[in-house]
């Protein structure tokens, strides 16, 4: 059986789409997978961090390295590939502040794994043609959500500036005349200063009894939150894919996403929600108001989400795509 070493960033400890993708890939690859969390100040790290990363690239094992580790270490990637190690970089997001390092690392790698066509196109727009395979995330089967009364809105993402939970709070503050509740579900420790801003916004708008900030949830606690949901919102400024979208659809929960992000690709043509142009930030509030006050729209989105449950690929499909790429002809 093929041996694969999967290198993931040791300094990203909160639940994230990238971490989830890595773990599910390791679980479903038809190979002996050794997952190693590489400590360091990634995405660049110190010289000692990069030496530690380099030490894990030898030994004749095929390596899949998370881009948060590998994209800041182009010399180490190039040296390993020159020495005969297959090094694939799984790029969950572009390194906006380290463009040159990323360009050299991706060019030196044996290949690049992207979670969406959107992410692949963004990388090639930044760096030119690359040896990219798109391995769309899978999703685990889940029971259909029962929903709540009044309608319950969930935003499942770590409290990070890019996820823009403050924009959702602002939108919901204009809907106090309507019945609804909401939950912001995700780590409040990944960016403590921003998490404090989100809490302050909820307090300032007088929404403490309407919006709960749960922190990161897993297992049964997370599933109970999904079961209570009627609508999911993912309005990040950027998303390579947005696993929350397919996790929502797997439960028959419609989703609002932001245009221009990979989350639009995740939503696809399901018609189970909407992709919003949020250059006009009032659009979010307007859309949620329409949904809250239009039972026919609620039924339409819900039925579309339930129909989408049967079309979602599993993680075995993702893993097969990656294995096919690894066994393809050498560059």
Same domain for 161 and 302: yes
Alpha-carbon distance of 220 to 234, in angstroms, equals 22
pLDDT of residue 73: 93
Same domain for 109 and 91: yes
Same domain for 15 and 76: yes
List strand residue ranges (DSSP E) for the chain, in order.
Answer: 3-9, 32-38, 62-66, 87-90, 111-114, 132-134, 152-156, 181-185, 211-215, 231-234, 255-258, 273-276
pLDDT of residue 40: 87
Question: What are the tokens at 229?
Answer: 């949901």
**Cα angle 71-104-31, degrees, rounded to a multiple of 5:** 50
pLDDT of residue 59: 62
Burial track 199-237 (b if 16+ CB lie within 10 A, e otherwise):
bebbeebebeebbbbebbbeeeebeebbbbbbbbbbbbe
299 membership: H or E segment, kind and range:
helix 295-308
pLDDT of residue 4: 94
Crossing angle (nearest 10°) for helices 282-293 and 165-173: 60
**303 within some domain:** yes
pLDDT digits (tens, 9 = 90+) for 61-94: 799 999 999 998 999 999 999 999 999 999 998 8
Same domain for 179 and 322: no
Same domain for 247 and 214: yes
**145 within some domain:** no
Alpha-carbon distance of 47 to 215, in angstroms, equals 34
**18 within some domain:** yes
Same domain for 269 and 182: yes
**106 within some domain:** yes
pLDDT digits (tens, 9 = 90+) for 222-261: 999 999 999 999 999 999 999 999 999 999 999 999 999 9
**144 within some domain:** no
Contact 187, 215 (CB under 8 A): yes
**331 within some domain:** no
**77 within some domain:** yes
Question: What are the tokens at 248?
Answer: 């929502």
Secondary structure class of 87 (helix, strand, coil): strand
Same domain for 216 and 112: no
- Whole-angstrom CA distances from 228 to 119, 183, 266, 268, 308 are 31, 10, 22, 24, 19
Same domain for 38 and 10: yes
Same domain for 156 and 127: no
Same domain for 220 and 126: no
CATH classification of the domain holding 257: 3.40.50.2000
Question: What are the tokens at 190?
Answer: 């990944």
Residue 79 CB contacts under 8 Å (≥ 6 apart), including other chains: 54, 57
Model-level pTM?
0.94
Most distant CA pair in the chain: distance in Å?
65
Alpha-carbon distance of 113 to 76, in angstroms, equals 18
The strand pair at 255-258 and 273-276 is best described as parallel
CA 127, distance to chain mean position in Å, is 22
**147 within some domain:** no
Same domain for 181 and 108: no
User: What's the domain count of the chain?
Assistant: 2
Residue range of the domain that includes 264:
152-311
Same domain for 270 and 191: yes
Residues of the chain with pLDDT under 70: 1, 15, 59-60, 329-331
Question: What are the tokens at 327?
Answer: 């066994």
Question: What are the tokens at 191?
Answer: 């960016």
Contact 32, 2 (CB under 8 A): yes
Place of tokens 């000692």: 48
Contact 15, 158 (CB under 8 A): yes
């Amino acid at each position: 059986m093929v041996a694969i070493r999967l290198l993931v960033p040791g300094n990203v400890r909160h639940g994230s789409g990238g971490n989830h993708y890595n773990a599910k890939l390791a679980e479903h690859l038809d190979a002996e997978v050794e997952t190693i969390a590489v400590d360091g100040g990634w995405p660049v790290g110190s010289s000692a961090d990069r030496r530690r990363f380099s030490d894990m690239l030898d030994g004749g094992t095929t390596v899949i390295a998370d881009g948060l580790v590998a994209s800041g270490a182009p010399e180490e990637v190039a040296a390993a590939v020159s020495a005969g190690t297959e090094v694939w970089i799984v790029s969950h997001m572009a390194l906006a502040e380290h463009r040159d390092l990323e360009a050299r690392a991706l060019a030196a790698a044996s290949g690049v794994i992207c979670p969406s066509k959107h992410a692949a196109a963004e990388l090639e727009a930044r760096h030119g043609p690359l040896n990219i395979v798109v391995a769309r995330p899978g999703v685990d089967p889940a029971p259909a959500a029962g929903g709540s009364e009044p309608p319950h809105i969930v935003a499942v993402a770590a409290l990070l500036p890019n996820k823009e939970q403050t924009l959702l709070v602002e939108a919901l503050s204009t809907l106090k005349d309507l019945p609804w509740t909401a939950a912001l579900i995700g780590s409040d420790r990944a960016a403590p200063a921003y998490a404090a801003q989100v809490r302050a916004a909820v307090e300032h708008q007088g929404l403490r009894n309407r919006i709960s900030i749960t922190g990161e949830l897993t297992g049964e606690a997370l599933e109970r939150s999904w079961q209570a949901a009627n609508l999911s919102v993912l309005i990040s400024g950027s998303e390579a894919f947005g696993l929350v979208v397919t996790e929502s659809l797997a439960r028959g929960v419609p989703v609002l996403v932001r245009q221009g992000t990979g989350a639009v690709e995740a939503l696809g043509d399901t018609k189970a929600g909407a992709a919003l142009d949020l250059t006009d930030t009032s659009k979010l509030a307007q859309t949620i108001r329409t949904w809250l006050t239009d039972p026919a729209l609620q039924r339409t989105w819900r039925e579309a989400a339930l129909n989408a449950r049967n079309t979602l690929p599993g993680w075995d499909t993702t893993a097969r795509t990656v294995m096919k790429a690894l066994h393809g002809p050498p560059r």
